[in-house]
A and B are shown apart, each in its own frame.
Chain A
Amino acid sequence: MSARGKTVAAGAALVAGVMMLCGGEREARAEYGDVVMNNYSDAAGMRPAVFPHWFHRVRFRCKVCHSDLGIKFKAGGNEINMLKIIDGQFCGACHNGSVAWSVENCDLCHSAKPGTPTQVHDSTINLLGGAGTAPTGASAPAGKK
């Protein structure tokens, strides 16, 4: 790419970024705390998975997943994959057809728009980093682990 081409591309990226920050209302209005997980989904041709915190906290206290099941407080930081789920880890502790519906209902979790980055939707970090588009999994330091 020529120097001129690079300048144009950089300018376009800058304009896009400014528009993203200053533009009208945020386009995504999903629930506070909805976690999008896209560690492997896009690459595997699946829609990214959405974890609705609100739905689960109506049914279980935080402790059940974050202590008993050992799920870390970090979006995308648990390296969850379908094999582990089928083996009863993470989501699979309940989503096994016994406590909750089981894994053949792929589309109920894998329901995000393709390309949605890993994030906690509406989180402080997302708001600071550009209106709900920053991949918090990559940029967010999340406490000592």
Chain B
Amino acid sequence: MTLLRFAGGSLLAALVAAPAPAQELPNAKAVYDANCAACHATGIGGAPRTGDARAWSAPIGTGINALYANAIKGKGAMPPKGGNASLTDAQVMAAVNHIVGLTAAPARRTGAKPVDTSKGKLVYQVVCAACHTSGLAGAPKLGDAAAWASRLSAGPGSMYANAIKGKGAMPPKGGNASLPDADVRAAVDFMLTQMRGGTALPPAGAAAPNPAAPAAPAVSVPGAVVLAPAVYESADPNAFNRLMVAPGRRNPPPAEDGIHDPESPGTALLQAPLLSFQSLPRANLGNYVNWVTALGKKQIQPRWDTRDPKAEPAVMDLNIVREVKGSMPDVVFPHKQHTEWLDCSNCHPAIFTPEKGANQISMAAIMLGQKCGVCHGKVAFPISECRLCHARQKSAGARTVEGPSAGGGRQ
């Protein structure tokens, strides 16, 4: 077990050790010093610095053979064989091994976690959790050390490859082909840290925190989904607020949402909301999606008929202004946004009598799920978005009924 924990903890070390059995040639250091050090010791031209585990984690993640190929043929600013065409391929490969050895060594010594797992956690939640939470289709479950150990024995490099290319029942990239390779690797890294018992525990073999470890960068994912730092649970000063959901904890996948049963085989098959919401305009509450804007921009194209994809609603553009008591701005009810989703008969006459002055509406009734509250506060934007309805200042000279206008009803 100690060995196992060690393997998970010093991921980079294991990563390097497994796919690179080649012996380091005696002259490797000389080749490195003469040809590679000029750039790789200093970082000139964007070269990853020798010993910088962070900078090397991505290149190393592509596999040792890719590193050999890049070193021999050149890549980006790097000339073939570091600019010394007289080197043999074997010498170049030896130099690569030398760099990798120097880079992996600090990680091996300190057991420092070379990768930031917060991004991997998000990718895991959105893409991988469907199977790896429940163990669907034979997937190793998150945190199940025994199940992961047998896979890890082949080396993390092969795990990255399997995650990216798919293996057995697992589709490539977990079925999300648009995911960058780096994100898939981040998710694998995250799952490996969980095998060790979670990020809350110190990395196995770590005598002391590594002061040189780089700070966790802000994580952003395509689609502008922002994840809270992994320290949220303990450090967020707002953690006491039971009603406010921190950004990183919004839209959790079904298995973690508290309603779905993680033990149900169906739960694992359900789409994670974030997968659907990534490209949609954000809102502050509800699903954290601005559905009206999404519809207006045709980012979603929900059908108006069960089977006919071309059926279109008959949109009515008529604002109703309701003068309200007290200091609150008057309410502007836009028919337009409502008729894009609903039929007249949904509201008239059962909920609202279609007649001026015939409807008594109060916030108390709305909070109890009546009148506007039939939808608002259940599925349409919640009633805490006061100003989306109370949109017309009293001084503006409101009329009770007015013609088509763009005023009010911003969502």
Q: Interface residues, chain A, CB within 8 Å of chain B?
A: 23-34, 36, 47, 50, 52-55, 57-64, 66-69, 73, 75, 93-94, 99, 105-114, 116, 120-125, 127-128, 131-132, 136, 140-145
Q: Report how far A54 CA is from B280 CA in the complex, Å.
A: 12
Known A-B contacts A61-B302, A67-B345; A123 and B243 likewise in contact (beta carbons under 8 Å): no
* Nearest CB on A from B393, distance (A): 26
Interface size on B, residues (CB 8 A): 62
Asked if A57 contacts B302 (CB within 8 A), the reply is: yes
- Taking each of A54, A55, A121, which has the highest tally of chain B beta carbons within 10 Å of its own beta carbon? A54
Q: How far is the CA of A26 from the CA of B258 in the complex (A)?
A: 9
Q: How many inter-chain contacts with C-beta < 8 Å in the A-B complex?
A: 183
5 CB-based A-B contacts, threshold 8 Å = A27-B258, A34-B259, A53-B379, A99-B306, A124-B367
Q: Which of A26, A106, A124 is within 8 Å of B377, CB to CB?
A: A124
CB pair B346 A112 closer than 8 Å? no
Contacts of A141 in B (CB 8 A): 368-370
A-side contacts of B340, CB under 8 Å: 61
Shortest distance from the beta carbon of B305 to any chain A beta carbon, whole Å: 7
Q: How far is the CA of A111 from the CA of B270 in the complex (A)?
A: 10
Min CB–CB distance A54 → chain B (angstroms) = 5
Query: In the assembled complex, which residues on chain A have CB atoms less than 8 Å from the CB atom of B343?
Result: 63, 66-67
Residues of chain B having any CB pair with chain A under 8 Å: 239-243, 245, 249-252, 254, 256-261, 264-267, 269-271, 273, 276-277, 285-287, 289, 291, 300, 302-307, 313, 340-343, 345-346, 350-351, 366-371, 373-375, 377-379, 382-383
Q: Name the CB-closest residue of A to B257.
A: A30
- Select which of B251, B265, B273, B304 is within 8 A of A107 by beta carbon: B265
How far is it, in angstroms, between the C-alpha of A94 and the C-alpha of B351 when the chains are bound?
Answer: 27
Distance to closest chain A CB from B93 (angstroms): 50
Chain B at the A interface: SS class: loop
Q: List residues of chain A with CB within 8 A of the CB of B366.
A: 124
Which label, helix, strand, loop or mixed, suits the secondary structure of the A interface? Answer: loop
B residues near A62, Cβ cutoff 8 Å? 341-342, 346, 375
- Whether A61 contacts B342 in the complex (CB less than 8 A), given A33-B287, A108-B269, comes out as yes
CB of B350 within 8 A of CB of A143, answer: yes
- Give B160 Cβ to nearest chain A Cβ, in Å: 31
Would you call A64 and B286 a contact (CB within 8 A)?
A: no
Per the bound structure, the CA–CA distance linking A42 and B233 in Å amounts to: 34
User: Given A25-B242, A57-B302, A61-B303, do A108 and B270 touch, yes or no (CB 8 Å)?
Assistant: yes
Question: By the criterion CB–CB under 8 Å, are A24 and B242 in contact?
Answer: yes
The answer to whether B370 and A143 touch across the interface, beta carbons within 8 angstroms, is yes
- Chain A residues positioned under 8 Å from B252 (CB to CB): 29-30
